[in-house]
Amino acid sequence: MSDVLLKVSDVSVTIPTEQGTVHAVDNATFSINKHEVFSLIGESGSGKSILGQAIMRLLPLNAMFSGKVELGGMEISALSEKEMQKVRGKIVSSIAQNPYLAMNPGIRVGTQVAEPMQAHLGMSKEDAKSRTCQALKYFDITPPEVREREYPFQYSGGMLQRAMVAMGTAANPELIIADEPTKGVDVLKKRNIAAIFQKVASKGCAFLLITHDVGFARAMSDRIAVNYCGQIIEIAEKEPFFKEPLHPYSQALLDAVPERGMHPIPGPSPSMIEVPEGCRFHPRCPNKADRCLKNPPVVEINGRCVRCWMYA
Amino acid sequence: MLKADNLHYVYTSGLIKTVKKTAVCGVDLEFFPGETVAVVGESGCGKSTLAKMLVQQLAPVSGEVFFNGTKLTGMSWKNLRKFMGKIQLIPQNPDDVVDPRWTVEKSVAEPFVICGGFSREEISANVDALFAEVGLSAEHKTRYPHELSGGELQRIVIARALALKPELLVCDEATSMLDVSVQAFIVTMLKEIQIKRGLSLVFITHDLEAAKAVSDRVLVMYEGEIVEEGTNVFDRPLHPYTRALLDAARYMSLEVLVPEEIGELPYGFSGCSYYRLCRERTDACKKPQKLQDVSGRLVRCWKSK
Ligand SMILES: Nc1ncnc2c1ncn2[C@@H]1O[C@H](COP(=O)(O)OP(=O)(O)OP(=O)(O)O)[C@@H](O)[C@H]1O
Ligand SMILES: Nc1ncnc2c1ncn2[C@@H]1O[C@H](COP(=O)(O)OP(=O)(O)OP(=O)(O)O)[C@@H](O)[C@H]1O
Ligand code: SF4
Ligand SMILES: [Mg+2]
Ligand SMILES: [Mg+2]
């Protein structure tokens, strides 16, 4: 298939800690097409951000990576750090989960937003500055000429989040990895973000959207992947997924939304160090049987993938 | 139990050319024991600033905060300390409270150390219990903040805020980095504490569905003011701004219907703060608007009467 943009094959990440090895990502395999918005939802602490960092090659220094990441046919997981620097920002851009950590507190916001445009699009300082003001204005950070000169601590939480989105989309990359782009953003401005993502996507940019906001994922994406305890347990087109999630975890997750009364999934979240044997969801699964103590296969049904014995 | 009178806050920034920004402007409010209040409003409307003033992290430019009748504003640090365990804020940004150089276990233990009077064993038992309460385990204890996921770190901050058994807990976007199930778990846990000890909860949030699901009462803020306050606000919004906010949430995937914006308001405009964007404005809205009582609901709009 020629329109595959990102191909992730058998990517695993482990991180050693004092208490043992964290199995943050286990054999992640999926691909994202050009123009596609692919959302990754799922349990907090299940390795979504680490997977995004693995694709960007921005993992913690002590993390162990295995597997293969290809972008437009180029194996970016095999590039040297120097070559990767060129790719980053130009081809893949990331919008990190914590704007307070990702933004440099000592540099004006405008300068930080302009940086990728100067570095990767070769824009002059003045051009980048006027583009920055446009971008800030677009995200409702007004008046842009004043806001551009302010420092991150002068922004409210949601404003900084939007400035991050402006920075991530500035240099027209081919793939944007957005980790919680709408965290702390109000509904009106969330739609601005949705609108600009859609606009950027229509120009041919693909998105890997990591989010807890089920409504946003539903409005934005073409396909959805669900992560649980380091594994992708379901991948499906958006419509069929929301109509009928197949994996018991997906079902339980969608049942926990506020509209349905906020019912948490019973039982504790699994350890990421001593991961449950067999199906990782089995200790909490209402449909578990003896076979679930063995690793479930990834089953393909009607173009959907689900990792569960019920469908084997 | 907590009462605020006419709070104002103005940020001044810039060394050479000072820029003033009014973040909170004349807020009166009261929280009662055992109730859950949601504070909603768009980004930048001053919710976090208000929260920080309530917990005495920021001194208001004018106005007063009372806790069970005692005036907190202007109190010396020493006297304030014994109240600080009672009123806790979970800040929007976890890095405000966790020290990046400390293990998260140490951060959670810090309130006990500051408060004093706990033996080492007691502290460690309390810390373990708090970790379990927020759904984390021993494997997270010895890590540093950057070694946790966003949602795990957020739960560390929640655990820390619960340490000294507060009577009022202000949660500023405290569950924004959690998946819906863990979010439900945390809310259920807080509600259990509320039933057990009469804890008052204030949720500042952009998630209107969650606000509706958890709260007894809602405060809607706009441009530093409370524009609507009461029960069942989401079922029957009265202020045009509240209606616009709810519409926006409901039709997430549709094109936004932004009302025609009129240009800059004349300098010193003292009418309704929502005048510029209101779809229902008339000339009468150019007069200052007060909160009016509309059968138990407070609404800052003359039309709601
Ligand atoms: N530097 C690190 N050292 C050790 N463990 C880590 C490190 N960074 C992350 N982890 C662990 O790896 C797991 C996956 O983390 P990750 O940040 O990918 O979660 P996530 O799915 O993004 O969760 P959230 O939705 O809460 O952000 C977590 O259990 C976390 O505790
Ligand atoms: N330290 C600061 N210096 C100058 N201005 C500030 C500072 N902190 C906040 N502001 C400004 O005050 C206003 C209110 O900020 P606040 O953080 O209270 O908003 P908020 O309602 O919490 O928004 P959000 O939902 O985005 O977190 C914003 O316009 C912000 O830019
Ligand atoms: S007071 Fe007037 S301008 Fe303000 S919201 Fe009400 S109708 Fe609109
Ligand atoms: Mg994350
Ligand atoms: Mg805030």
Q: Which of A135-149, A287-301, B258-272, B273-287 has the lowest mean pLDDT?
A: B258-272
| Cα–chain center distance at B56 | 13
Q: Rounded CA gap, A92 and A123, in Å? A: 18
| Mean local confidence (pLDDT), B245-258 | 63
Which amino acid belongs to residue A112? Q
Q: Is any atom of ligand 3 closer than 6 Å to the C-beta of B191?
A: no
DSSP string, B82-123: HHHTTEEEE-SSGGGTS-TTS-HHHHHHHHHHHH----HHHH
Does residue B147 lie in a domain region? no
Closest C-alpha to ligand 1, atom 24: A44
Q: Which residues of B128-158 are buried (b: 16+ CB within 10 A; e: fewer)?
A: eebbebbbbbebbbebebebbbbbbbbbbbb
List all residues 6 or more positions away from B80 whose beta carbon is below 8 Å from its beta carbon: B56, B72
ipTM of the complex: 0.89
- B67 backbone dihedrals φ, ψ, rounded to 5°: -120, 115
Preferred mutation among A100, A186, A190 to probe B, highest tally of B CBs within 10 A: A186
The pLDDT, as a whole number, for residue B270 is: 84
Does residue B78 lie in a domain region? yes
- A177 backbone dihedrals φ, ψ, rounded to 5°: -100, 110
Strand positions, DSSP E, A96-182: 175-179
The pLDDT, as a whole number, for residue B257 is: 47
The pLDDT, as a whole number, for residue B254 is: 46
Q: Do A256 and B184 touch (CB under 8 A)?
A: yes
B18 CB within 8 Å of a chain A CB: no
Q: Which of residues 166-185 of B touch A (CB under 8 A)?
A: 173, 176-185
| Mean local confidence (pLDDT), B61-79 | 89
* Alpha helices for chain B (secondary structure H): 47-54, 77-84, 104-115, 120-133, 138-141, 150-162, 180-197, 208-214, 240-250
Degrees (nearest 5) of the Cα angle A91, A94, A99? Answer: 155
Q: Using CB atoms within 10 A of its CB, is residue A192 exposed (0-12), middle (13-18) or buried (19+)? A: middle
Closest C-alpha to ligand 3, atom 2: B285
- Kindly identify the ligand whose nearest atom is closest to the C-alpha of A63: 1
Does residue B154 lie in a domain region? no
The pLDDT, as a whole number, for residue A39 is: 96
The pLDDT, as a whole number, for residue B262 is: 56
| CATH classification of the domain holding B209 | 3.40.50.300
| Mean local confidence (pLDDT), B177-182 | 94
Structure tokens at A65: 């990576």
Closest C-alpha to ligand 1, atom 2: B147
| Counted domains in chain B | 1
pLDDT higher than 60, residue B278 = yes
pLDDT higher than 50, residue B256 = no
- Band (pLDDT 50/70/90 cuts) for residue B66 is very high
Query: Do B272 and B255 touch, CB atoms closer than 8 A?
Result: no
Q: Rounded CA gap, B241 and B239, in Å? A: 5
Distance from CA of B216 to the nearest CA of A (A): 15
Distance from CA of A230 to the nearest CA of B (A): 12
| Cα–chain center distance at B264 | 30
For residue A114, report the distance from its CA to the centre of ligand 5, in Å.
25
pLDDT higher than 50, residue B253 = no
Range picked from A25-29, B73-77, B283-287 for highest mean pLDDT:
A25-29
Does residue B108 lie in a domain region? no
Neighbours of A242 (CB within 10 A): 15
What is the DSSP secondary structure assignment for residue A275, as one 8-state letter?
P
Query: Do B159 and B151 touch, CB atoms closer than 8 A?
Result: no
Structural domain harbouring B235: 2-86+165-239
Does residue B139 lie in a domain region? no
B19 CB within 8 Å of a chain A CB: yes
A173-224 pLDDT tens trace:
889 898 988 888 888 778 778 877 887 888 778 999 999 999 889 988 999 9
Tokens 């090895």 -> residue: A21
Q: Do A256 and B183 touch (CB under 8 A)?
A: yes
| Mean local confidence (pLDDT), B16-38 | 88
Degrees (nearest 5) of the Cα angle A187, A192, A194? Answer: 90
Q: Which of residues 41-60 of B touch A (CB under 8 A)?
A: 41-44, 48
Instruction: Give every residue of chain A whose pLDDT is below 70, as ranges.
Output: 1-2, 97
Question: How far, CA to CA in Å, does A252 sit from each of A245, A287, B139, B177?
Answer: 9, 11, 25, 18
A64-85 pLDDT tens trace:
999 999 998 899 999 998 888 8
The chain B residue lying nearest A161, using CA atoms, is: B43
**Of B67, B287, B75, nearest in space to B168 by CA:** B67
Does residue B265 lie in a domain region? no
Q: Is any atom of ligand 2 closer than 6 Å to the C-beta of B7?
A: no
For residue A19, report the distance from its CA to the centre of ligand 1, in Å.
14
The pLDDT, as a whole number, for residue A106 is: 86
Which amino acid belongs to residue B205? T
| Cα–chain center distance at A44 | 12
The pLDDT, as a whole number, for residue A238 is: 93
Give domain A4-83+222-311's CATH number out of 3.30.1330.40, 3.40.50.300, 2.60.120.280, 3.40.720.10: 3.40.50.300
| Mean local confidence (pLDDT), B214-230 | 94
Q: Rounded CA gap, B245 and A138, in Å? A: 19
Does residue B254 lie in a domain region? no
The chain A residue lying nearest B205, using CA atoms, is: A184
Name residues with Cβ closer than 5 Å to ligand 5, which is an ion: A 156-157; B 48, 92
Look at chain A and count its residues.
312
List all residues 6 or more positions away from A262 whose beta carbon is below 8 Å from its beta carbon: A256, B180, B183, B184, B187, B188, B210, B213, B214
Name residues with Cβ closer than 5 Å to ligand 4, which is an ion: A 49, 97; B 149-150
